Structure 1
């Protein structure tokens, strides 16, 4: 794995992926994007039992977006074909996060701007430092996004709010991100790592098949009419019941608990 990315698999079935380019505020260059996609796709290998992935950054930023210096110095910026390939690389890495069977949590410290916001939007949950600085910022540089913010941000927070942030390039802090539904949870900065890891460990106690199915159903809810979504949910639940002993065990445990509570009340 490249030095620009640190990967740690914990006994709790959580993989922590750390962007490790603090001198560039964890900006995304080509090698980092390739390493990120590999680290995510590895989690689906049969011998691994990873149920939650945490994406975080070292230093004072989660991710400052695409590395414009690298784009210029590598020649990508001035080569249309190479530039398009790099955009494809970014979209492929972010798609890996969305399509992963694991639940993916972005842990936002400091700055998450432009491509950094797009990286977070590709994750399933966002936990943010209350004072984090989050924004799209492409308009500030007369650029257009290529990592998905124009598509994912309206789906996440609604068209009116998304257009405000997309067209002005203004930032929000972590508290505002939580208030408008971009972040799932905002916590004081010193508590961010512990809070994110505790959440990840809690989620990772659930059955892997159930987590993957829940993620699939919830993401499809953004695309399907309600009637079709409910039919899909019914079918997924029926299939999971027949394929997974964990569901039957969970129902039996619940029923036994109810019976015990009823006996105690009598």
Structure 2
């Protein structure tokens, strides 16, 4: 198989059928421009056709895993929110998760740095996730004024339960790798210098294991996740609709300008009137 057409993913073949995938836009914290977003979806199909790959490991170049969508890719905010681009982005978001679930070969994420949005979808849709215990992650959609549509509605309730899912998806609070492991959102948290090594060690073990049994187990387990497929489809549709609303325009503008957002749907409350001393 030839991987030369990938522009922002690089590949290293290891022993026992392990393929290391490196997200390679370190100058942008590995944020996904349109090209990388497409590659996030397509790479799993390519790996599925590669007879020499038994296990895939994905990590980020530099200090980040992937900082989500590159909201500064287009100089004109109107271009970033064009109907064609928003609709296409939603379709690709569905493909990323579905293609990862459909790939029978195990996927391991080595979450070496910040993971947000589409980057977090890759990190958590992996079958096994190894994270730096001090890394901070967030779904982050509500910070932009849009519904959590990349993966979270489908996966988080199964991984960490409904109470924690609602808390972190509604607040968009950051959580550390250590806390993510504690609540069950990731498989394992380790010291930062051990993340990739641990992921490759697990991959090597799987690569030497019974391939049919491993793939059959993954396939069966993923049917549990697919029970939430209608909710996933709805979340992506609602996110797409939200991108056309004023809250999203404000959220993206605030991100680009590095300021707190002031969402139109939540105008400031009037100042509280204190009762007069004679009343």
Q: Same fold (TM over 0.5)?
A: yes
**Structure 2 residue matching 1:67: 3-state secondary structure:** coil
**Structure 2 residue corresponding to 1:33, chosen from 32, 37, 45:** 37
Change (3 A) 1:114 1:36: closer
**Structure 2 residue corresponding to 1:6, chosen from 6, 10, 16:** 10
| Distance across 1 between alignment mates of 2:105 and 2:131 | 20
Alignment coverage as a number of residue pairs: 223
**Structure 2 residue matching 1:146: 3-state secondary structure:** coil
Shift of 1:9: 2.2
Are 2:132 and 1:138 equivalent residues in the alignment? Answer: no
Contact 2:114 2:137 in 1 (8 A): yes
Shift of 1:201: 0.5
Are 2:192 and 1:189 equivalent residues in the alignment? Answer: yes
**Structure 1 residue corresponding to 2:28, chosen from 24, 27, 34:** 24
**Structure 2 residue corresponding to 1:77, chosen from 70, 80, 84:** 80
Shift of 1:159: 0.7
Compare the two structures and name the one with the higher helix fraction: 1
Are 2:56 and 1:53 equivalent residues in the alignment? Answer: yes
Higher RCO (C-alpha under 8 Å, 6+ residues apart): 2
Change (3 A) 1:154 1:71: farther
| Distance across 1 between alignment mates of 2:78 and 2:36 | 17
Structure 2: gaps (5+ residues): 228-279
| Distance across 2 between alignment mates of 1:43 and 1:75 | 35
Shift of 1:155: 2.1
Change (3 A) 1:77 1:215: same
Structure 1: gaps (5+ residues): 225-266
Contact 1:95 1:122 in 2 (8 A): no
Change (3 A) 1:35 1:114: closer
Shift of 1:17: 1.0
Shift of 1:49: 2.8
Change (3 A) 1:204 1:146: same
Shift of 1:63: 0.8
Contact 2:133 2:189 in 1 (8 A): yes
| Distance across 2 between alignment mates of 1:84 and 1:108 | 28
| Distance across 1 between alignment mates of 2:76 and 2:35 | 14
Contact 1:72 1:78 in 2 (8 A): no
- Tell me the residue number matched to 1:106: 109
Change (3 A) 1:150 1:58: same
Contact 1:7 1:39 in 2 (8 A): no
Q: Superposed, which structure 2 residues align to 1:68-217 within 5 Å?
A: 68-70=71-73, 76-217=79-220
TM-score, normalising length: structure 2: 0.74
Contact 1:111 1:132 in 2 (8 A): yes
Shift of 1:211: 1.3
Shift of 1:76: 4.8
| Distance across 2 between alignment mates of 1:38 and 1:101 | 15
Shift of 1:75: 6.2
When the two chains are superposed, the root-mean-square deviation of aligned CA atoms in Å is: 1.9
Change (3 A) 1:141 1:78: closer
Shift of 1:206: 1.4
